[in-house]
Each structure stands twice: as C-alpha cells, then as structure tokens.
C-alpha cells in the first residue's frame, strides 16, 4: 500500500512541476500587453512604459519564472496586475463560491444518479429502465446553460422564489448564500447525474454478467444480496473515476453556468483574467487547479485500492 | 393550509404596520456589464471605473453634466486671463475627503502635477499636456498656467482621469478609493458586486440614496433575467438589445434610449494599398447601408453618422447623405480607382456585438461590389496589439467612446495611418479657440473634411440603452461620459 501511495504522490509532484513550466511558457507567448490593455487607446507611450515597469515586465524570463515558482512554494502567488491584490486572496474568495457549488452539484447528482443506475440495472429491459435511460439521454443532450435559463424563468421570474443570479456572500448569512447556489447546482447536476446514472447502470450490468455472480446466485444468495454485496462494490471503480473527473470539471469548467448566474467563481476569474491579460492570476489559478486535479486523482487512485485490494497487495 | 395562510397574512400585516410611514426606498441595485479592474480613475482607461466612481466617489475641479456641459465641482468658480493662458480657480471651503483629511489647494496642485510626472500611469496623460505650472495662491485658490491657450481645458479637467485625489490616499485608491464625493466605497466583493454608501460629511447637496449596489452581470440573458426577477432595479447600459422591446411593453419598466460619445467606425489602414486611394475608401462608404447594419447588429438602436461627431452636439452636421448607400456609384468609384473586379482584404473584429454582427453584414455588403473581406475575430488584447499598436490590419470595426476625440484623426502614428495637413491645422485652431460660433464653424469644417476624405467609414453613434424601474428618477438619459452619476437619483414612492 505504501509504495503504491508514494508512487502516486511522486507522479503527482512531477505533473505539477511540468504544469508550472507549461503554464508559464504558454502565457509568455500569448499576444497582448497587459499595460496597454489597462491604459487603453488614448494612453501615451511613456505612461504605458511606466506601467510595464511597475508590473515588473522588464525582468528576464527565467528570473520571472523562478521568482514565481519560489513564491508558489512559500504560498505567495504574486499580485494581480488588474486588481492589485494578492492572487491567493482572489483564489480564496472565488473558492468560497466554486467549492460549495461543485460539492452541492456533486451531491445532488450522486444522490439522483446512483439509485437510478442501480434501479435501472436491476430491472434491465423493463419499461422503467427504458424510461430512466431515456430521461438520462435527454439530460446529457440538453445544454446546461439552456436548462439554467429554464430554471431561472420558472423559479426566479415566474415564482420569484430564488434569485435569478448573483452570490449573496457568506458574510451575509448561510441561507441567502445557499439560496443563490441552488439553481446553479441543479443546472450543473442534471447532465452530470445523467452521465453518472448511465455509467452506474452499464458498469453494474457488466459485473452482473460475471461468472462469480452466477456462482453467488447458485450458492443460493438472493438477487438483492448479490446486487448489493457482490456486484455494486465491484461496479464502483468506473463510477469513482467518473466522479473524480466530474469534480475537477465542476471546479473549473463551470464558466458558462457562472456567466448565466453571474457567480463570482473560479471559472469566471480565469476567463476575466485571460481577457484582461492578468497573466499572474491565470498562472496562479491554473496551477492551483492542476494541484486540485492531481490531489483528486490521487484520492481516486487510493479509493480504487480500498474497493479493490488487489491493486495494492500486488505491488 | 388555512392556518398557514392566516399566519402569513398576519406576519405581512405586522411587517407593513411596523414600517407604516411607507418611507421611500433609499437603496438601489444597478446592473453593470464589466467589472472595473480597480477603482482609481487616474490610473486606468476602463470605462467601468468611471461607471462606479465618477461624481459618486471622486470629483474634479469641474465636472460633466447630464447634457455634456461643463459644470463647477470642487472649483466654485474660475476666472480666465485675457490671453486665455491662465485660469484662477476658487475652491469650495470646508470640503473633506472621505477619510476625514481636509481638501485644499495643495491637493489640487498634487493632483494636477502627478499625472504629468515620468512615473505617471494616467491613461489620459494628454489631458494635462497643456499645463505649464500650477501655483497655490492661498489655501482656497489655485492658478493654473497653460503653455498656450486651450479651449478644451475646463472640459479636460472634468474627465474622470483628472479628479482630485489626496497625497495621503493616492497610492491606495485602486483598492480603497478616497475622494470628496457624496458616496464612499462600502465593500467590493470582487467578481460579484460593489457597494457604495452615502457620505454623511459631504460638502454639497447630499444624495437621496443611502446605498447603491453595482452588480456585475456580463451575460445579456442573465441581465434580462435579473431585471425581470427584480434582482436589479436599473441597468443604465443594458447589453441585450434583442430583449429591449419586451421591456418597452412592460409598464414596470422605463426604457430610455439616449446617445453616447461612441462613434462606431470601420477604421481603414490609410497607408496600405488599396486603402491609400481616397476613391477606394469612398467606394466602400457607398457600398455600406448604415440602416441595415444598425437593424441587423443593433436591433435598430443607434443613429447613423456621416462623420466623426456626436449627433447630440450643437455643432453637429448630418453628412450621412454625402456617403449614402449606392452600390452602383460604389462600383463606378472602384473601377475608377483601378479595381473593376474588387479585391481581397481582411476585416479584424474585436469582441463587442456591434463589431462582430456589424462586421458580418458589412462583409456581405462589400462582396456585392466585389470586395472579398475575410473576417478575423480577435480579442481586445490582440486588437490593441495587432491593430492599434502595430497597425497590422486592413479594416476593423470599433466604437470610439471617449468624448471630444475628433483630434484622433490628427494624431501621428494613430492606427488609421491618416495623415492630412489641412485636418491637423483645423484641430490646432479648434484647440486654441474657446467655445462660440468660431469654434462651431471650425468643428463643422473638420466634419466635412473627414466625410470627404473618409479615412474611416463612419457607421453609427452607439446608443445608451437604459432600462430601470419606472419608479426611479434621476438616472442619466444620455452618456456624455461613461458614468453613473447617482447624486440626483431617487425613488418616487
């Protein structure tokens, strides 16, 4: 188990270092000068030069890379060019929205998807199975921003139960903040739940076709017992993989939903930072996301080992 | 169920009677499309900065009023010398910055000298170029001497980039703005909203609103939903032209279509063949139907322009007929210019809707006379780099939103690559002339010259599409500068 785990950690660290080089290099060649962008079309050349100097663009490439990397190790992500506040503070503020949003969507989608998947698999070919999978198919096909607009129309404009968007801020109370996250999490959860339900179903069906299941049934175990004690545990590996991928996606890939609900999340921070050429923020957020994905993958890998002891006993 | 209903009713009644006076609302939530990068108007060009702070948090010696006129602000009055080279400003007394420090002539001197220094990162450094020296006569009077007479000086001092800041707080204004205005910053939740509250120690007429929240809503569909759901009560510059009709039909809202300083043009690279030939430029102008562009790209909102001048200005001349839509004439001009079969070119389009949608329509219209324009979408940063700075383009569409910017066509090395000695001469004369019939005459000559030379194709004036709750009063109809002056805004009941 230990060697298995330490190998995974090492791979994670190498990934991070490689990512830091790639992120830095890619942003280095992106066209556009942040100073000119901030000062606009009427600015004089000397004003633009003065701002470039202020931002520290005049240092050589390698110096800037190592300064940045050194800063990262000590928890200093640098200062945003546009906002002129520490990047880490910005990330923390946005995490306070993105993290709860990702978690609630993940919880909602899991609560819906796993039971539906099990149910459909256990009644394979029945009308309920067909109906459930039909709905899931629609759930995958519907663009989540469109579903979001429908949710807004019903719950915010017609019923006026929930805000159409925005984030109240945790300092203004728990309930108002949760209220502003309900519709976005629902909109995000629907396609995720649909995918997850289909994966759960097919993975469970695969396992149910295995010889050891027949053996278990032949031993006289009930269908129910076989399903929950023998099949489900083994069917969870692909489900876990998808869950891990979905969580990473939910943290960073929610730009569209964040736009529809004008939520101040990480996705919008990156988007805004890219258009404003606030490269230090882009670097910081991307490396942070890479770190999170690496950690999630590590946890998923360790999760495999828990559900499938062969993985570590072998090594 | 009935018990619940009566409980609710009781609670509602209790709530109503407890606020029995029915005091008018004193808070307002406004929607804005772009988040400002920071809140220091003297250190950035983003219009979003002025949209929050102008007239609300910061004030200058003078200010622009709702009609675009120059009004006194921190300067109570001023006197101009005979030769037009010196201005003596008399300042309001008992004015305090929002952090409690006193305002006086020292602050004025500081604020007018800072943008002229080498280290200055003022985006409109040019506004201060005319200043020779600033002298303090006494704590409440300042004498400004110009290098030469400048008819725009009082107007220039009214820009957001020329507001008066205190030496104590100048370096931290980006994050903690401290001005002399009727509102002060309460809280900025980055990416989400900016809250300003009434400044209880304001020197002038106090604001009616106690609190105003600017909520950042970049998505047009979300902007529509936010207004309909009542989450925001005003959208001074509403971004979704396609849903405006829906609000016009809804009595809960007031839809106010005003004018702005945004001349939308298709810029041409005047030094690059074939655009160095005035006949080619005129041919392009005659090939474009402004009305189709406005209908298609702007859902009909926008006023056609025939030169580079805002239609609401007193000196405006309607020159649209001079380059009226006439494809036959366009073809003839193109033949005379030696391109009977047209030519291939490119059209670089920045992100705004007017450019992207307008560009597609224009490219289609140009193909009618044989000009094949390849559309290249670019981001703002790329646009500034490729088009604006390096002049690596053939044609592009952009709205010039700065007020009083006729002089861009006289600048050397500006992205149009337009170089006209007569036009430069006109601008020189305009700058040296104070307001009056002489200046109007010069302005009109300049408009005519541009409409003939056609260094860019003049398309339309960007509208200010305001939508707000019908019970709100005092928001600006027009946008003579990009600001949301809340000093006179109130709820009517």
B53 belongs to a structural domain:
no
Q: How far is A66 from chain B (nearest CA, A)?
A: 26
> Among A41, A84, A176, A268, which would you mutate to test the B interface (most chain B Cβ atoms within 10 Å of its Cβ)?
A41
Rounded to whole angstroms, the Cα distance separating B448 from B429 reads 16
Q: Judge if the upstream peptide bond of residue B274 is cis by omega within 30 degrees of 0.
A: yes
Determine whether the interchain pair B231/A165 forms a contact, defined as Cβ–Cβ distance below 8 Å: yes
Same domain, B250 and B377: no
Same domain, B102 and B206: no
Residues 75-134, chain A, touching B (beta carbon < 8 A) = 82-85, 90, 93-94
Report the CATH number at residue B268: 3.10.105.10
Question: What integer pLDDT is reported at residue B362 of this predicted model?
Answer: 97
Q: Give contacts of B379 with chain A, Cβ < 8 Å.
A: 32, 275
Assess A184–B contact: CB distance below 8 Å, yes or no. no
Question: What integer pLDDT is reported at residue B458 of this predicted model?
Answer: 97
Phi-psi label, residue B39: left if phi above 0, alpha if psi -120 to 50, beta otherwise: alpha
Question: What integer pLDDT is reported at residue B163 of this predicted model?
Answer: 97
- Per-residue pLDDT at A46 exceeds 90: no
Nearest CA in chain A to B404: A42
Same domain, B297 and B376: yes
Rounded to whole angstroms, the Cα distance separating B283 from B54 reads 42
Nearest CA in chain A to B405: A42
> Among B33, B41, B45, B118, which would you mutate to test the A interface (most chain A Cβ atoms within 10 Å of its Cβ)?
B45
Q: Splitting chain B (493 residues) into consecutive groups of 10 residues, what average pLDDT does each group show?
A: 47 44 81 92 90 97 92 96 93 95 96 92 90 96 94 93 96 94 95 95 95 94 94 95 94 95 96 94 96 95 95 92 95 95 96 93 96 93 88 95 91 92 95 87 96 96 96 94 94 87
Phi, psi dihedral angles at A70 (to 5 degrees): -60, -40
Q: Could you tell me if B342 and B370 are in contact, meaning their C-beta atoms sit under 8 angstroms apart?
A: yes
DSSP symbols for B28-54: EEEEESS--S-S-GGG---HHHHHHHB
> Among A30, A39, A56, which would you mutate to test the B interface (most chain B Cβ atoms within 10 Å of its Cβ)?
A39
Nearest CA in chain A to B114: A47
Q: Give contacts of B405 with chain A, Cβ < 8 Å.
A: 42
Same domain, B283 and B211: no
Determine whether the interchain pair B123/A40 forms a contact, defined as Cβ–Cβ distance below 8 Å: yes
3-state secondary structure of B255: strand
Q: Could you tell me if B130 and B149 are in contact, meaning their C-beta atoms sit under 8 angstroms apart?
A: no
Assess A60–B contact: CB distance below 8 Å, yes or no. no
A149 belongs to a structural domain:
yes
Q: How far is A78 from chain B (nearest CA, A)?
A: 16
A283 belongs to a structural domain:
no
Same domain, B389 and B292: yes
Q: Give contacts of A263 with chain B, Cβ < 8 Å.
A: 192
B49 belongs to a structural domain:
no
Report the CATH number at residue A181: 1.10.3720.10
Mean pLDDT value across residues A205-221: 88
Determine whether the interchain pair B121/A259 forms a contact, defined as Cβ–Cβ distance below 8 Å: no
Determine whether the interchain pair B45/A46 forms a contact, defined as Cβ–Cβ distance below 8 Å: no
Nearest CA in chain A to B44: A39
Contacts of B469 (CB under 8 A, 6+ apart): B233, B234, B252, B253, B254
Our measurement of the distance from residue B161's CA atom to the centroid of its chain's CA atoms, rounded to an integer in Å, reads 12
Nearest CA in chain A to B350: A275
3-state secondary structure of A22: helix
B40 belongs to a structural domain:
no
Phi, psi dihedral angles at A282 (to 5 degrees): -60, -50
The domain in which residue B470 lies consists of 27-34+177-259+464-491
**Tokens read off for B366:** 């140009």
Question: What integer pLDDT is reported at residue B447 of this predicted model?
Answer: 97
Determine whether the interchain pair A93/B118 forms a contact, defined as Cβ–Cβ distance below 8 Å: no
How would you class B384 by CB atoms within 10 Å of its CB: exposed for 0-12, middle for 13-18, buried for 19 or more?
buried
Same domain, B99 and B233: no
Mean pLDDT value across residues A218-236: 85
Q: Give contacts of B128 with chain A, Cβ < 8 Å.
A: none
The domain in which residue A227 lies consists of 93-273+301-313
Residue B422: how many other CB atoms lie within 10 Å: 10
Question: What integer pLDDT is reported at residue A202 of this predicted model?
Answer: 92
Report the CATH number at residue B103: 3.90.76.10
**Tokens read off for B475:** 């928001």
A174 belongs to a structural domain:
yes
Model confidence at A35, pLDDT cuts 50, 70, 90, reads confident
Determine whether the interchain pair A163/B222 forms a contact, defined as Cβ–Cβ distance below 8 Å: no
Determine whether the interchain pair B121/A50 forms a contact, defined as Cβ–Cβ distance below 8 Å: yes
Same domain, B205 and B155: no
Nearest CA in chain B to A150: B225
Contacts of B86 (CB under 8 A, 6+ apart): B80, B143, B144, B145, B146
Q: How far is A55 from chain B (nearest CA, A)?
A: 11
Same domain, B283 and B367: yes
Domain count, chain B: 3
Determine whether the interchain pair A165/B222 forms a contact, defined as Cβ–Cβ distance below 8 Å: yes
> Among A32, A176, A259, which would you mutate to test the B interface (most chain B Cβ atoms within 10 Å of its Cβ)?
A32
Determine whether the interchain pair A157/B225 forms a contact, defined as Cβ–Cβ distance below 8 Å: yes
Q: Give contacts of A259 with chain B, Cβ < 8 Å.
A: 218-219, 222
B19 belongs to a structural domain:
no
Rounded to whole angstroms, the Cα distance separating A235 from A227 reads 10
Q: Judge if the upstream peptide bond of residue B370 is cis by omega within 30 degrees of 0.
A: no
Same domain, B156 and B267: no
A–B CB contacts, 8 A cutoff, strictly below:
156
Determine whether the interchain pair B226/A272 forms a contact, defined as Cβ–Cβ distance below 8 Å: no
Dmax (CA) of chain B: 87
Nearest CA in chain A to B403: A42
Determine whether the interchain pair B389/A33 forms a contact, defined as Cβ–Cβ distance below 8 Å: yes
Tell me which of B168, B185, B203 is where a domain ends. B168
Domain count, chain A: 1
Q: Give contacts of B218 with chain A, Cβ < 8 Å.
A: 259, 262
Same domain, B206 and B327: no
Predicted TM-score (pTM) of this structure: 0.86
Nearest CA in chain B to A277: B381
Question: What integer pLDDT is reported at residue A312 of this predicted model?
Answer: 61
Determine whether the interchain pair B384/A149 forms a contact, defined as Cβ–Cβ distance below 8 Å: no
Same domain, B436 and B319: yes
Residues 134-173, chain A, touching B (beta carbon < 8 A) = 149, 152-153, 156-157, 160, 163-167, 169
> Among B52, B189, B378, which would you mutate to test the A interface (most chain A Cβ atoms within 10 Å of its Cβ)?
B189
A158 belongs to a structural domain:
yes
Determine whether the interchain pair A166/B192 forms a contact, defined as Cβ–Cβ distance below 8 Å: yes
What is the total residue count of chain A?
A: 315
């Amino acid at each position: 188990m230990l060697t298995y785990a330490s190998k995974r950690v090492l791979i994670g660290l190498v990934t991070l270092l490689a990512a830091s080089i790639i992120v830095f290099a890619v942003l280095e060649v992106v066209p556009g000068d942040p100073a000119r962008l901030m000062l606009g079309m009427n600015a004089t050349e000397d004003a633009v030069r003065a701002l470039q100097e202020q931002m520290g663009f005049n240092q050589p490439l390698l110096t800037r890379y190592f300064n940045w990397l050194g800063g990262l190790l000590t928890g200093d992500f640098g200062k945003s060019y546009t906002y002129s506040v520490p990047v880490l503070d910005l990330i923390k503020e946005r995490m306070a929205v993105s993290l709860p949003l990702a978690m609630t969507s993940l919880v909602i989608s899991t609560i819906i998807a796993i039971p539906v998947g099990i149910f459909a698999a256990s009644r394979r070919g029945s009308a309920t199975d067909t109906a459930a999978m039909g709905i899931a198919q629609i759930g995958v096909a519907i663009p989540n921003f469109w579903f979001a607009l429908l949710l807004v129309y019903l719950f915010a404009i017609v019923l006026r139960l929930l805000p159409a968007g925005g984030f109240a801020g945790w300092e203004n109370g728990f309930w108002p903040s949760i209220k502003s996250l309900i519709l976005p999490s629902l909109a995000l959860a629907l396609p995720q739940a649909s995918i997850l339900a289909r994966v759960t179903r097919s993975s469970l069906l695969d396992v149910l076709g295995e010889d050891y299941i027949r053996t278990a049934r032949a031993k006289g175990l009930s269908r129910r017992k076989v399903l929950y004690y023998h099949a489900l545990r083994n069917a969870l590996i692909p489900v876990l993989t998808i869950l891990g991928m979905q969580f990473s996606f939910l943290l960073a890939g929610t730009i569209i939903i964040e736009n529809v609900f004008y939520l101040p999340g990480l996705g919008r921070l990156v988007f805004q930072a890219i258009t404003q050429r606030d490269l230090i923020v882009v670097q910081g957020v991307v490396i942070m996301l890479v770190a999170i994905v690496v950690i999630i993958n590590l946890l998923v890998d360790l999760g495999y080992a828990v559900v499938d002891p062969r993985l570590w006993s072998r090594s | 169920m009935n018990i619940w209903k009566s409980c609710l009713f009781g609670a509602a009644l209790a709530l109503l009677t407890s606020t029995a006076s029915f005091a008018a609302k004193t808070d307002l939530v406004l929607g804005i499309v772009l988040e400002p990068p920071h809140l220091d108007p003297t250190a950035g060009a983003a219009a979003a900065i002025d949209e929050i702070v102008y007239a609300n948090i910061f004030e200058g010696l003078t200010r622009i009023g709702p009609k675009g006129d120059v009004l006194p602000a921190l300067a109570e009055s001023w006197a101009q010398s005979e030769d037009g080279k010196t201005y003596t400003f008399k300042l309001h007394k008992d004015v305090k910055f929002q952090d409690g420090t006193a305002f006086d002539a020292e602050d004025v001197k500081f604020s007018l000298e800072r943008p002229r220094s080498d280290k200055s990162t003022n985006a409109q450094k040019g506004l201060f170029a005319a200043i020779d020296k600033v002298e303090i006569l006494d704590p409440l009077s300042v004498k400004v001497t110009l290098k030469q007479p400048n008819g725009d000086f009082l107007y220039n001092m009214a820009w957001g980039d020329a507001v008066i800041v205190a030496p104590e707080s100048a370096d931290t204004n980006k994050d903690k703005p401290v001005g002399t205005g009727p509102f002060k910053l309460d809280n900025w939740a980055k990416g989400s909203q900016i809250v300003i509250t009434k400044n209880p120690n304001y020197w002038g007429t106090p604001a009616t609103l106690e609190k105003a929240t600017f909520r950042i809503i970049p998505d047009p569909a979300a902007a529509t939903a936010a207004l309909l759901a009542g989450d925001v009560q005003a959208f001074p510059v509403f971004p979704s032209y396609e849903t405006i009709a829906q609000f016009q039909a809804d009595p809960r809202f007031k839809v106010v279509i005003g004018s702005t300083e945004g001349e939308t043009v298709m810029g041409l690279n005047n030094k690059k063949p074939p655009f160095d030939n005035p006949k080619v430029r005129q041919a392009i102008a005659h090939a474009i139907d402004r009305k189709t562009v406005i209908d298609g790209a702007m859902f009909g909102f926008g006023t056609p322009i025939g030169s580079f001048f805002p239609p609401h200005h007193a000196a405006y001349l309607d020159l649209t007929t001079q380059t009226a839509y006439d494809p036959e004439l366009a073809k003839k001009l193109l033949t005379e210019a030696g391109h009977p079969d047209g030519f291939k070119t490119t059209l670089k389009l920045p992100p705004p809707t007017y450019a992207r949608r307008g560009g597609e329509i224009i490219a289609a219209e140009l193909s009618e006379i044989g000009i094949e324009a390849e559309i290249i979408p670019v981001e703002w940063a790329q646009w500034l780099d490729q088009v604006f700075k390096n002049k690596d383009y053939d044609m592009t569409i952009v709205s010039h939103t700065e007020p009083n910017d006729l002089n861009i066509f006289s600048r050397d090395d500006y992205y149009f690559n337009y170089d006209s000695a007569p036009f430069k001469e006109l601008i020189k004369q305009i700058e040296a002339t104070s307001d009056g019939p002489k200046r109007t005459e010069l302005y009109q000559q300049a408009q005519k010259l541009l409409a003939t030379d056609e260094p860019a194709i003049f398309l339309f004036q960007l509208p200010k599409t305001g939508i707000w709750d019908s019970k709100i009063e005092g928001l600006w109809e027009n946008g003579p500068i990009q600001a949301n002056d809340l000093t006179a805004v109130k709820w009517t009941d």
